[in-house]
Amino acid sequence: MAISISVQCLGLIILAAVLLQTIAVAISCMYFNKVLNTMQESFSRSSVSCLINANPPSELKDPAADGKKSDPCWQVTQQLHYHIEKKMADRFQSEISTAMRNKLTGALPVLTPGVRGVPLPKVAAHVTGVASSTEPPAAENEGSQGSRGYMGERIRAWEGQRGLSFLQNMELRGGELLVPRAGLYYVYAQTYFRLPSAGEAEGDAKEEEAAAELVQYIYKKMSSYTVPILLMKSSRSVCWLRGPEPGLFSLHQAGSAFLQPADRLFVTVSNASAMEMDGRASYFGAFLVG
């Protein structure tokens, strides 16, 4: 009987010890969880406060801020400002570079395909005069607008492959640029004239009368319409020079036009015999802008 009582007491003691240990472990876990939550909240508040109360970079350069360089909060905000500024600067530089390339592509039509960093439009052409060509710059006088449907003499001797000229998904046929696709095109042309001096022209009043007015036309020819359509016209009245040197004049015009596939562009002038077919002075082109 005494042994049975001793076993029961021992069991009760062991059970009580287990319960006490369990309660102690539970209390310890609750305490440490509370302490951990308190530390996390404190760290979060300090981090947010560090970022909110951080001075801008301009103020951090102040001499009074030198003593903060050992502060971890100051170091974190300094690094954060540096990375934000670097990211914004890189993006700004990229956007500016793209915008400048687009501007150059639109503003400088005389671009060769080999220019690095300045891509050509998908559809473009720049054809130039051929100074050394034995072919005349235009055919013989093709008459008035009533007989041919356009004014002036057509310029046929354009170069599309060599020198400053190029063809990008466009064709040059008989002095005409063939439009491959529909869209809004930027079209331009310049013609350069060398007129004789007054002494050389005195014996030919008719030539003097014709040379006194220089006119340049840009036409488009549609497959569905037999008469060419005038897109642009530029003119200039010139006076005869009294000295022995010839007179040098140029006409330039440019603008946008909506063109359809198979449309053709060509240039005519009032006095083709006086033209200087230098590729840097007389040229003609178009490129797709939208």
Considering the domain architecture, whether residues 249 and 131 belong to the same structural domain is answered as yes
Residue 249 lies in a domain: yes
Considering the domain architecture, whether residues 75 and 128 belong to the same structural domain is answered as no
Half-sphere exposure (Cβ direction) of 99: Cα atoms closer than 13 Å? 6
CATH of the domain at 255: 2.60.120.40
Q: How far apart are CA 134 and CA 157, in angstroms?
A: 9
Considering the domain architecture, whether residues 199 and 268 belong to the same structural domain is answered as yes
Residue 93 lies in a domain: no
Whether the CB-CB separation of 278 and 233 falls below 8 Å is answered with no
* End position of a domain, from candidates 60, 79, 98: 79
Considering the domain architecture, whether residues 248 and 178 belong to the same structural domain is answered as yes
Domain that holds residue 48: 2-79
Token look-up 């004239």 returns 193
Residue 86 lies in a domain: no
Residue 115 lies in a domain: no
What pLDDT was estimated at residue 175? 92
The model carries a pTM of 0.54
Reference 168, options 122, 128, 112, 117; nearest CA is 122
Residue 112 lies in a domain: no
* End position of a domain, from candidates 17, 45, 79: 79
Q: How far apart are CA 154 and CA 266, in angstroms?
A: 7
* End position of a domain, from candidates 48, 79, 110: 79
Residue 110 lies in a domain: no
Considering the domain architecture, whether residues 260 and 191 belong to the same structural domain is answered as yes
Considering the domain architecture, whether residues 158 and 252 belong to the same structural domain is answered as yes
Considering the domain architecture, whether residues 45 and 164 belong to the same structural domain is answered as no
Residue 144 lies in a domain: yes
Considering the domain architecture, whether residues 260 and 188 belong to the same structural domain is answered as yes
Please give the chain's pLDDT, 290 residues, in tens: 666 677 778 778 888 887 888 887 888 788 877 877 777 666 555 555 555 554 544 444 454 555 556 666 666 677 776 767 777 767 666 665 555 555 444 444 444 444 555 566 689 999 999 875 444 455 444 445 555 788 999 999 899 988 889 999 999 999 999 999 999 999 999 998 887 765 555 555 444 444 468 899 999 999 888 899 999 999 888 765 565 666 788 899 999 999 999 999 999 998 888 888 888 889 999 999 98
Residue 117 lies in a domain: no
Q: How many domains does the chain have?
A: 2
Considering the domain architecture, whether residues 148 and 283 belong to the same structural domain is answered as yes
Considering the domain architecture, whether residues 27 and 166 belong to the same structural domain is answered as no
Q: How far apart are CA 275 and CA 215, in angstroms?
A: 12
Considering the domain architecture, whether residues 277 and 204 belong to the same structural domain is answered as yes
Reference 175, options 264, 254, 243; nearest CA is 264
